[in-house]
Structure 1
Amino acid sequence: MTNALADHAQISVVSNFSELINANFQGDQNAICWHRSLLGDFKEIVAKLELKENMTEVSVEDLLMLQLSEKANLARNVILSDIQQLTDFGASPSLNLLKNYERDDELDFISTDVYSYHIDRSPIETDTFLCTYHGPASEILPHDQVEQKILIPEIREKLKKLYDGPEAEFEAFLEEYFFDLHYQPKPNSKPVNLGSGHLWRLAVDHPTQQVLPCVHRAPMENDGEYRLLLIC
């Protein structure tokens, strides 16, 4: 899989955490992957964690309280190490047990939930880190394979009718309700699945960012299967 990922212009593949945090985004490249094959039984951890509602944040204490087999203990140590390294770096990692995210079905012509291709935005210099330990993984697309939804004429017209305010403030309205963050894949687009166990760093839209932010989306979950995801 390493070679396949390296073939994508938007992806840089590295071999350790230090390279992951020190590599620079450049050109079309806005996703960096610490590619790894993890040992351990992550499925057992998922089975022993308690899901509250559709998403539960799992603390380090929650992990440490689990009675696990030797293989699942290896998996726990990987997660704890990832959390520690990201915390030492200055990030605020969150380990989530997911049945599903909230859906945005209020408008039938545009979706703004995480299942829609979108970018992340921040007022400060930061990146998005994520790793799927169990369950389906997120997908990314390069900018030449997507179109910003607010630029699609029929969607834009419907948003203007929804807004019904001063023309000069329309763009601010689009930002306020996050419509401008979402993208439509073009015909014949080829998403890259982020896979299981790899720790990713994705470019975010902020004032000092030198590259285009990474367009990504959450996967549709499999019935009866929870995701275990580290994100910050």
Structure 2
Amino acid sequence: MQPPFSNHKHIQVVSTFSDLIDLQLQGDTNAVCWSRQLHGDFQEIVNQLELIENITEITVEDLQALQLSEQGIVAREVIIKDIERLTECGASPSLNLLKSYERDDEFDFISTDVYSYHVDRSPLATDTFLCTYYGAASDILPNEQAIQKILIPEIRAKLKELFDGPEAEFENFLAEYFFDLHYQAPEDATPINLGVGHLWRLAVDHPTQAVLPCVHRAPSEAGEYRLLLIC
């Protein structure tokens, strides 16, 4: 069964890990999804892990130390295999048990935390990989629906008030504090939920990227833990 986003112009759905890695991003496509229906009890893993503060990085050794049922073992093998695959490709995957990310409430007119629609920036020719095994999943926003916050007149005016320097350096200021990475969705926007179990590759902003970076955000957890692999 194909996922609901399978025909979206920004998303290419593939059926193997090698296709996920090897697909060349071009045109409108800036997100690749290895669509999967995972087996196993991921909730059992979440229930056995210990959350320290709001985010805890979980190691393979932590997973292997868990005493799990047959279905829990199946879920653990899926996670470890994903970590191994990504590591073999040169990535540095991090498995996180999280209750919530830190909120940015420094300014009342602009937010720069991960709950705000944003793009990732990298000095290297790489992409963002992520998979939600349990809990709420992230959203992506089609680029044509994303409004860069620094271009919204009211927000730009307040940022200029915040900036105490020559006009020629204003754009550097916006990049230095990551204001330029964040976007706003119009009221009629149609975000796309990434779903649970799928392994995603999202285009990032870097000098050699051939496509637009993928605009995305973390979900509101609403008190539920998430188990997320990201790199």
Deviation at 1:164, TM superposition (A): 2.2
| 1:229 alignment partner in structure 2 | 228
Contact 2:138 2:216 in 1 (8 A): yes
The total of aligned residue pairs comes to 231
Q: Deviations over 1:128-166 (max 9, x none)?
A: 000000000000011110100000000000000000211
Q: Which runs of 5+ in 1 are unaligned?
A: none
Map of 2:190 onto structure 1: 190
Partner of residue 115, structure 2: 115
In structure 1, distance between residues paired with 2:63 and 2:70: 14
Sort the Cα spacing of 1:97 and 1:72 in 2 relative to 1 into closer, same or farther, 3 A. same
- Partner-residue secondary structure (3-state), 2:5: helix
The residue number in structure 2 matching 1:25 is 25
Superposed, 1:89-104 pairs within 5 Å as 89-104=89-104
Instruction: Find the residue that maps to 1:140 and give its secondary structure.
Output: strand
d(CA) in 2 for partners of 1:136, 1:222: 9
Match for residue 14 of structure 2?
Answer: 14
Measured after TM superposition, the shift of residue 4 of structure 1 is 2.2
In the alignment, the residues of structure 2 paired with residue 14 and residue 185 of structure 1 have an alpha-carbon distance, to the nearest angstrom, of 28
SS at match of 1:5: coil
Does the CA contact (< 8 Å) of 2:131 and 2:230 recur in 1?
yes
Name the CA distance, whole Å, in 2 between partners of 1:222 and 1:91.
30
Q: Which one-letter code corresponds to 1:18 in the other structure? A: S
Q: Distance in 2 between matches of 1:222 and 1:86?
A: 29
Q: How does 1:1-232 map to 2 (within 5 A)?
A: 2-223=2-223, 225-232=224-231
* Cα deviation, residue 222, structure 1: 2.1
Counterpart contact for 2:3–2:35, Cα < 8 Å: no
CA distance in 1, matches of 2:107, 2:2: 39
Which letter maps to 1:115?
A: Y
For 1:49, give the aligned amino acid: L
Aligned equivalents of 1:17, 1:164: Cα separation in 2: 48
1:228, distance to aligned residue in structure 2 (A): 0.1
Which consecutive aligned stretches of 4+ in structure 1 deviate over 3 angstroms post-superposition?
Answer: none
1-structure distance, mates of 2:43, 2:222: 14
Q: Report the 3-state secondary structure (helix = DSSP H, G, I; strand = E; otherwise coil) of the residue aligned with 1:38.
A: coil
| Shift of residue 218, structure 1, vs aligned partner | 0.1
Q: CA deviation at 1:3?
A: 5.0
SS in 2 for 1:2: coil
The separation in 2 between residues aligned to 1:168 and 1:29, in whole angstroms, is 34
How much does 1:211 deviate? 0.2
Identity across aligned pairs (percent)? 70
CA 1:95–1:3: 2 relative to 1, 3 Å: closer
Distance in structure 1 (CA, Å) of the matches to 2:112 and 2:199: 25
For 1:56, what is the secondary structure of its paired residue? strand
Three-state SS of the structure 1 residue aligned to 2:85 is helix
Supply the AA of the counterpart residue of 2:146.
V
2:139–2:192 contact (8 Å) kept in structure 1: yes
Q: What residue identity is the alignment partner of 1:66?
A: L
Distance 1:72 1:3, change over 3 A: closer
TM-score scaled by length of structure 2: 0.99
Letter in 2 for 1:56: T
**Structure 1 position 84, deviation (Å):** 0.2
Determine the C-alpha separation between the residues in 2 that align with 1:170 and 1:222: 37
Deviations 1:168-198 (A, max 9, x none): 0000000000000000002210000000000
